[in-house]
Amino acid sequence: MKLLHIVPVTGDVITPGMLEFLAEPLDKDTVLVTEQIKKGPASIECGYDEALASPPILEICGQAKELGCEGIFINCFGDPAVEAARELVDMPVFGGFVPGALIASGLADRFTIITVLDNVVRMIHSNIAKLGLSSKLGSVRVVNMPVLELGHQDELYRQLTIQSIKAVEEDGAQAILFGCTGMIGGTQTIYNGLLEKGYDIPVIDPAQTSVKMIETCVKLGIKPSRMTYLPIPDKERV
């Protein structure tokens, strides 16, 4: 099976490590076809970035079928253009948010999302309200690092561990969901850091969760509802 992996930013963020990381939980015969937008923000850290990135994301989505892909992963926790893409193409489309929030809700009564900057907190609250799961979200915390600095993994993991422990102790978190699909590879480290404190709770990576959920939907033969996401009406679009 081929899945379209859209990198919705123009920054120099695609690394072999990232692609390996995404492929890790997938079946051996599942192939990720990676496409990056050419125009738009270097990273997505606010609603403005999301708005700029959306048209080029959708342009790539429109090529999914001819690329032979059966599902689409938009590689961002903010789920940019996901809903519009579900109108445009008739296949499973997910960003990082929905699969991560769903699985967290299935494993714990209350979870905390740890994201990059204060600027995206509003978007996360909007997304959880739309998903109807606000009662499960204990808090949103930030590591206060811009997306383009997440490559500093030692610092990232250190901050994620600090915030995860605070989430448990101050916000009653019973699970941790990373709030950025660029926080790669840290789940085990942060899980161990929590465990040392006596907190044995799931630490969830949204990117791996999402690609696996897309693959699952394709296997199960299910896709977004066309009565929630209706096909787009024909009209002039200049």
- Residue numbers 102-161 binding a second copy by CB under 8 A: 102-103, 105-110, 117-119, 122, 125-126, 129-136, 146, 148
For a second copy, the binding residue among 32, 51, 166, 185 (CB under 8 A) is 51
6 belongs to the binding site for a second copy (CB under 8 A): no
183 belongs to the binding site for a second copy (CB under 8 A): no
Tell me the C-alpha distance between 227 and 211, whole Å.
24
Considering only 14-22, 68-76, 83-91, 149-157, which stretch makes contact with a second copy by CB under 8 A? 83-91
**Site residues for a second copy, window 18-37 (CB under 8 A)?**
25, 27
SS3 22: helix
Task: Compute φ and ψ for 108, nearest 5 degrees.
Answer: -155, 160
Considering only 14-22, 64-72, 155-163, 212-220, which stretch makes contact with a second copy by CB under 8 A? 212-220
98 belongs to the binding site for a second copy (CB under 8 A): yes
Do residues 82 and 76 lie in contact, with contact meaning Cβ atoms separated by under 8 Å? no
193 belongs to the binding site for a second copy (CB under 8 A): no
228 belongs to the binding site for a second copy (CB under 8 A): yes
Do residues 93 and 4 lie in contact, with contact meaning Cβ atoms separated by under 8 Å? no
Q: What is the DSSP string of 166-229?
A: HHHHHH--SSEEES-TT-TT-HHHHHHHHHHTT----EE-HHHHHHHHHHHHHHHT----TTTS
